Amino acid sequence: MAEKQNENRPVSIPEAQQLVDQWIKTIGVRYFSELTNLAILTEEVGELARIMARTYGDQSFKKEDLGKDLGDEMADVLWVLICLANQTGIDLNEAFLKNMEKKTERDKTRHQNNSKLKS
């Protein structure tokens, strides 16, 4: 299974949810509680923010942050978010598509009419 996960290929959202669930059940023993995973998600978002602030913002890198991979930090956030979705019975594919519809309906002219976004 590890080889399959490391292939450089597109992974659908349902497949990602399935891969995480399989990993948890075979390697991770069990899911952490939902509240623990929420705390971990917050930690992971903080790590992502730290790298973003140093890469694209005004802060300089600290020694311990050198060599951290932005994509890996984003993947950590995605991993824990998928864990939470799996634990709470959320189909992220369905939720994402509904969210896109909501944003499209709500914002179909909002951003086009925003003078702050004009170049």
Q: Rounded to an integer, what is the distance from CA 8 to the centroid of its chain?
A: 18
Residue 1 has pLDDT above 50, yes or no: no
Separation CA 57–CA 88 (nearest Å): 35
pLDDT by residue (tens digit) across 46-91? 999 999 999 999 988 888 888 899 999 999 999 999 999 999 999 9
Least Cα distance to 69 among 53, 51, 81 occurs for 51
Contact (CB, 8 A) for 31 and 86: yes
pLDDT category, 111, cuts 50, 70, 90?
A: confident
Q: pTM (2 decimals)?
A: 0.86
Count other C-beta atoms under 10 Å from residue 85's C-beta.
Answer: 19
